[in-house]
Amino acid sequence: MLTTADFLQYTQWSVIATLVFAVLTVLSLLFKWGIRFRLVGATGFMLVLTGGLFALSLVPLSRTVIPGATRFTLVYDNGSTHAVIATSPQITPTQLEATLRQAASNLYSYGRLGSREEKQLTVRARTIIHPEPGVSVPVYLGQIKRSLVNREDPDVTVEIYPEKFAQLPQPTV
């Protein structure tokens, strides 16, 4: 995975390329070359590309890795205070807690909007079971609540629903 240091190096090379395009553009405008307007467009594109690379060099791209967490899929996110992840039906309560913690950490963003009443991000975990052919039932296994304001929230609340785990299909041995 690319790091912020890699993006900083790419930004430096992009700045050099942008300056080269800018010099060529100025020369083409002075000497009225036929490709002068194309060079204006290429220089503008290089400016945008350099700005994007610079932004990526400032923001860390790392994801939190919680030991014991399993793979999950984000199935709903309102961009504000609620999200839902899907997990495997074979997940254990211990794995679910680690997975919820990882999802809550990965979904944290300064850009999430919270209302005055609710300043917490709630991430619910669900799985799909098939009690009979052609029937699918979502089963919510737990949820986690964390602060929308504090990245290192000490008051994370994890709720696991043990009665829901009883509904999951048991692996055959």
* Boundaries of every domain in the chain: 4-58, 73-165
Query: What does the pLDDT read at residue 57?
Result: 87
Closest CA to 125 of 85, 82, 68: 85
User: How many other CB atoms are there within 10 angstroms of residue 53's CB atom?
Assistant: 19
Q: Residue-wise over 72-89: b if at least 16 C-beta within 10 A, else e?
A: beeeeeeeebebbbebee
Report the distance separating Cα 142 and Cα 97, nearest Å: 8
Query: What does the pLDDT read at residue 114?
Result: 66
Task: Give the global pTM.
Answer: 0.69
Give the helix/strand (H/E) hosting 29.
Answer: helix 4-31
- Give backbone dihedrals phi and psi of 133, rounded to 5 degrees, phi first: -55, 135
The pLDDT mean for the chain works out to 92
**pLDDT level of residue 153 (50, 70, 90 thresholds):** confident
59-113 pLDDT, tens digit each: 766 677 899 999 999 999 998 899 999 999 999 999 999 999 999 999 988 778 7
> How would you write 73-140 as a 3-class SS string?
EEEEECCCCEEEEECCCCCCHHHHHHHHHHHHHHHCCCCCCCCCCCCEEEEEEEEEEEEECCEEEEEE
2-47 pLDDT, tens digit each: 888 899 999 999 999 999 999 999 999 999 999 999 999 999 999 9
Query: Which strands make up the sheet holding 157-160, listed edge to edge?
Result: 73-77, 82-86, 120-132, 135-147, 157-160
Give the helix/strand (H/E) hosting 160.
Answer: strand 157-160
> Which residue is associated with the tokens 């039906």?
89
